[in-house]
């Protein structure tokens, strides 16, 4: 049975100050927030429901109906499915031949979901059960309309009787992925705030708060409602009330201002990251939620707390919720109203939670009294575990396949029971109404993304400082190599030195923009997730990145120009100085735009490095310096005119050699001065108007590259999509048909290929620097202790389980023992087989399985 709600800790405060003014209550809640219990949440949601009904803004119910729903995937079989270089080339050629109707592809159709029918009612919370590989993720994505383009959906899927299609409003339903992908530099609050802005969260919390403050009537009732409202939506003087509420119900208050973190940055724990993933979609307050495996990384008590809060939201806010869990404990299972049991893509059971065991008992299988019902439901369909639940004569037992369970369920009374209890709700929602009310304007999307980009620019300031210092050091080095004391300007030979200096300037500025490749590749997984779940367009990512890169580009190219221009001894005119600066700025912008395009097209760091290397070699060779335009074969001249390096080099050379100091008379072909002669000899343009044309073309390249990057982000899919294995079903069947022998194996029959070792750790303490976010709230300590006086031993031949609630330091302890911590301060002793641990030798005898 579920544990009763915790007693309210603020009861004595209410008894002592029943008529405290709102300002005092608000100050009390901000300074020392009290625990937010299930009873507090129920009171708040009930109050919110009453106020919304009084204001006439009650939420509409959504009924999800699916009939003969099937999801198919066409995959290659055999050795052709392996991603080798030869297979990729052959497959690409075969796809091209298929488009030309020359041949057909040899692909096999795999049914991931096979003829599922049912109905999910509003104001009821449904549990989706199934073994790994049964199709739960695909089923949830199909219900949410988030299927990958490579999968084909058949059958009917309707919301309130209307077919789900591309015109269905995105904000009507929300899918919560099992992948925890976030921007590592953003805090939990900032992540949920951005999701709230992108989902266009309504201001119903603000409306309810204003209504409570203005409401006339019984004073005690108003004070009670106001206290509930403040307790649910007030947290550290932050303005987004919905975000405050989501942070409180998910238990993220302690880490709300801690960055998410990644492999290189210390952040929140894996369980807290999972709750943040749930929160960034829950903040949208959609009418349908499809949550995929939200208990990964969470302990059973935290899972129960979160599911209990979601259950209260489902019942009191009339939501339609489907949650998939792997092994829910009994108290969590009882919170659900309905259960869907999915096996090999077929629905074996769909009905009330309390009738699930009765259906299988009719089939001859009974759940033992002390057996977890969720485990029973998943094991009773397994060939290896089914026999133990058979209650009839053991000699009459025969394996019941999935198809038999599915047929029996379809012919039973349970599907009719679900349909009779349903019906299109009275307060239904129309797609047009939702589209008109919740569609976010492009300006609001831009503001949200631009604010995030400015925040990321500040958080990534060490990287930008490093690139600035790098180009400064290079400028000092180059300026000493081409020092003006050794740079004359009287002959063609002297001009060649200036051409070399100008070539190095353009090349280094171009290389300085390549940092965009790594930064874009790093952000792509998060973008693909937000594109799918938050409907984030490609321009919303590229446009803010482009705008925020302009100041950095101005600073870096400005430093280069200031440190090199007069030291090397270019044309002394200030106007020439500014024109030289303009060309380098345009080249830097072009370089960053090109690198963004390469990253968006390649999508992986390895492919991006290959493409960038080939691209840079091509634009340098055809740039007119390595090989003159006049020395190129006529059929290769197109490479000269398509290389951005051509226009940057021509622009800086025109700016330099058409200055008055290069006007010494010198005749060569059509040239009459030394400056014109060197341009003619090296194959550069000689007329001044080409300077402005070259600058305009460089800015045009930057614009085109950024536009193409937007298209690449819009239409290209993530390279890390899960592939369907055509042989998975056959392999699983072969494995399950094999019987394990009952003979016992003695220890004397084999010998261990290694020496067993014991590990003893005594008084382990681990300290890290106090995060800056915590110092803002008055924490004066310089160090934060994550492990405190931890001692224990791991013995050979004994399997030890490390348990603890989310955020207690389990991963930190394992990292310290394994020697994976590169920062912080570690105290205590670690002994291996009685000897002090040496990391150099310990890493050779140990293995570490990382939790992601």
Q: 805: pLDDT confidence band, cut at 50, 70 and 90?
A: confident
What domains sit in the chain, N to C, each tagged with a CATH number?
56-65+113-177+289-431 (3.40.50.300), 447-715 (no CATH), 752-845 (3.40.50.300)
What are 364-394's pLDDT values in tens digits?
Answer: 888 888 888 888 888 888 888 888 888 887 7
pLDDT at position 105 over 80: no
- Which pLDDT belongs to residue 2? 42
What predicted TM-score, i.e. pTM, was given to this entire model?
0.79
- Which pLDDT belongs to residue 458? 92
Rounded CA separation 510/514 (Å): 7
What are 40-54's pLDDT values in tens digits?
Answer: 888 888 887 887 777
- Which pLDDT belongs to residue 232? 53
- Which pLDDT belongs to residue 691? 93
What are 667-698's pLDDT values in tens digits?
Answer: 777 777 888 888 888 888 888 999 999 999 99
CA separation, residue 138 to residues 66, 150, 289, 350, 507 (Å):
14, 12, 15, 17, 49
More confident: 25 or 532: 532
* Average pLDDT value over all residues in the chain: 80
- DSSP 8-state symbol, 342: E
What are 685-738's pLDDT values in tens digits?
Answer: 888 999 999 999 999 999 999 999 999 999 988 876 555 554 444 444 444 444
Instruction: Report the helix count and the strand count for the chain, using DSSP H and E.
Output: 32, 16
Q: 179: pLDDT confidence band, cut at 50, 70 and 90?
A: confident
CB-count exposure of residue 237 (10 Å: 0-12, 13-18, 19+)? exposed
CA separation, residue 202 to residues 199, 207, 438, 439, 535 (Å):
9, 9, 8, 11, 17
More confident: 6 or 795: 795
- Which pLDDT belongs to residue 414? 62
Q: 361: pLDDT confidence band, cut at 50, 70 and 90?
A: confident
CA separation, residue 367 to residues 330, 448, 523 (Å):
13, 52, 48
- Which pLDDT belongs to residue 741? 41
Residue partners of 352: CB distance under 8 A and separation at least 6: 337, 338, 339, 417
What are 195-209's pLDDT values in tens digits?
Answer: 888 887 655 555 555
What are 490-543's pLDDT values in tens digits?
Answer: 778 888 888 989 999 999 999 998 999 999 999 999 999 988 888 889 999 999
- Which pLDDT belongs to residue 818? 85
Highest mean pLDDT among 222-226, 431-435, 782-786: 782-786
State mean pLDDT over 298-309.
88
Rounded CA separation 568/564 (Å): 6
The two structure tokens encoding residue 833: 């087989």
Residue partners of 241: CB distance under 8 A and separation at least 6: 205, 206, 209, 233
Q: 852: pLDDT confidence band, cut at 50, 70 and 90?
A: low
More confident: 631 or 598: 598
Rounded CA separation 406/461 (Å): 58
- Which pLDDT belongs to residue 778? 66
Tell me if residue 792 falls in helix, strand or coil.
strand
Rounded CA separation 782/768 (Å): 9
Q: 598: pLDDT confidence band, cut at 50, 70 and 90?
A: very high
What are 64-103's pLDDT values in tens digits?
Answer: 999 888 988 887 776 777 777 787 888 778 878 877 777 7
More confident: 751 or 638: 638
Rounded CA separation 295/276 (Å): 12
């Amino acid at each position: 049975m579920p544990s009763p709600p915790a007693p309210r800790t603020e009861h004595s405060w209410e008894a002592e100050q029943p008529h405290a003014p709102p300002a005092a209550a608000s100050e009390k809640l901000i300074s020392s927030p009290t625990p937010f219990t299930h009873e507090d949440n129920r009171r708040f949601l009930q109050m919110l429901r009453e106020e919304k009904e009084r204001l006439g803004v009650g939420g509409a119910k959504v009924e999800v109906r699916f009939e003969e729903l099937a999801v198919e995937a066409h995959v290659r079989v055999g050795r052709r499915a392996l991603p080798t270089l030869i297979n990729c080339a052959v497959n690409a050629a075969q796809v091209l031949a298929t488009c030309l109707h020359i041949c057909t592809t040899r692909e096999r159709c795999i049914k991931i979901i096979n003829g599922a029918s049912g109905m999910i009612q509003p104001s009821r919370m449904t549990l989706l059960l199934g073994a790994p590989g049964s199709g739960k993720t695909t089923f949830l994505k199909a219900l949410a309309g988030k299927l990958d383009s490579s999968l084909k959906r058949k059958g009917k899927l309707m919301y309130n009787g209307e077919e789900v299609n591309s015109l269905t409003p995105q904000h009507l339903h929300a899918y919560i992925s099992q992948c925890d992908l976030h921007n590592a530099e953003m805090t939990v609050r900032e992540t949920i705030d951005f999701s709230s802005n992108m989902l266009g969260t309504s201001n119903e919390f603000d409306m309810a708060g204003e209504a409570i403050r203005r409401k006339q009537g019984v004073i005690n009732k108003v004070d009670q409602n106001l206290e509930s409202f403040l307790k649910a939506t007030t947290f550290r003087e932050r303005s987004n009330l919905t975000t405050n509420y989501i942070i409180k119900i998910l238990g993220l208050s302690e880490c709300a201002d801690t960055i998410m973190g990644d492999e290189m940055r210390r952040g929140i724990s894996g369980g807290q990251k999972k709750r943040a993933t749930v929160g960034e979609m829950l903040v949208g307050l959609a009418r349908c939620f499809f949550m995929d495996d939200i208990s990964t990384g969470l302990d059973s008590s935290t899972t129960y707390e979160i599911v209990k809060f979601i259950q209260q939201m489902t019942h009191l806010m009339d939501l339609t919720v489907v949650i998939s869990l792997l092994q829910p404990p009994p108290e969590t299972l009882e919170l659900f109203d309905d259960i869907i049991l999915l096996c090999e893509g077929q629905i074996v059971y769909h009905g009330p939670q309390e009738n699930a065991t009765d259906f299988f008992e009719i089939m001859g299988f009974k759940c033992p009294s002390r057996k977890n019902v969720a485990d029973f439901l998943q094991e009773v369909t397994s060939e290896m575990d089914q026999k133990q639940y058979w209650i009839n004569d053991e000699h009459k037992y025969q394996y019941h396949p999935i198809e038999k369970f599915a047929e029996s369920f379809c012919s039973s009374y349970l599907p009719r029971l679900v349909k009779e209890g349903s019906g299109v709700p009275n307060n239904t929602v129309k797609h047009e109404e939702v589209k008109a009310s919740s569609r976010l304007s492009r300006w609001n999307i831009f503001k949200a993304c631009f604010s995030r980009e400015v925040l990321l620019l500040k958080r990534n300031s060490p990287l930008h400082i490093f690139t600035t210092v790098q180009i400064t050091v290079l400028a000092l080095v180059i300026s000493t190599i081409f020092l003006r004391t050794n740079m004359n300007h009287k002959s063609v030979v002297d001009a060649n030195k200036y051409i070399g200096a100008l070539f190095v300037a353009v090349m280094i500025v171009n290389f300085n923009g390549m940092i965009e490749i790594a930064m874009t590749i790093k952000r792509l997984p998060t973008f693909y997730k937000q594109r799918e779940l938050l409907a984030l367009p490609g321009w919303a990512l590229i446009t803010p990145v482009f705008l925020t890169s302009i100041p950095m580009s101005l600073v870096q190219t400005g430093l280069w120009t200031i440190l090199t221009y007069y030291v090397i001894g270019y044309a002394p005119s200030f106007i020439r100085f500014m024109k030289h600066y303009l060309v380098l700025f345009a080249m830097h912008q072009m370089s960053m735009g090109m690198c963004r395009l390469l990253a968006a097209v390649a999508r992986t760091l390895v492919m991006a490095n290959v493409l960038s290397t080939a691209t840079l070699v091509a634009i340098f060779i055809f740039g007119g310096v390595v090989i003159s335009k006049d020395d190129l074969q006529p059929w290769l001249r197109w490479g000269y005119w398509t290389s951005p390096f051509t226009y940057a080099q021509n622009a800086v050379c025109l700016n330099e050699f058409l200055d008055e100091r290069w006007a010494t008379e010198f005749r060569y072909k059509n040239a009459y001065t030394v400056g014109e002669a060197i341009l003619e000899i090296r194959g550069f343009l000689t007329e001044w108007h080409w300077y402005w044309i070259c600058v305009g073309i460089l800015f045009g390249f930057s614009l085109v590259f950024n536009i193409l990057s937007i298209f690449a982000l819009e239409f290209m899919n993530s390279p890390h999509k899960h592939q369907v294995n055509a042989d998975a079903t056959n392999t699983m069947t072969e494995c399950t048909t094999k019987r394990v022998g009952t003979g016992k194996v003695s220890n004397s029959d084999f010998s261990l290929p290694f020496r067993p070792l014991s590990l003893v750790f005594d008084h382990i303490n681990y300290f890290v620097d106090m995060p800056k976010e915590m110092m803002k709230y008055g924490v004066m300590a310089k160090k934060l202790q994550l492990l405190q006086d931890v001692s224990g031993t791991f013995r050979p031949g004994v399997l030890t389980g490390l348990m603890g609630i989310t955020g207690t330091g389990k991963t930190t302890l394992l990292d310290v023992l394994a020697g994976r911590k590169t920062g912080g301060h570690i105290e205590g002793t670690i002994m291996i087989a009685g000897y002090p641990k040496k990391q150099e030798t310990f890493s050779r005898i140990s293995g570490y399985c990382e939790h992601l």
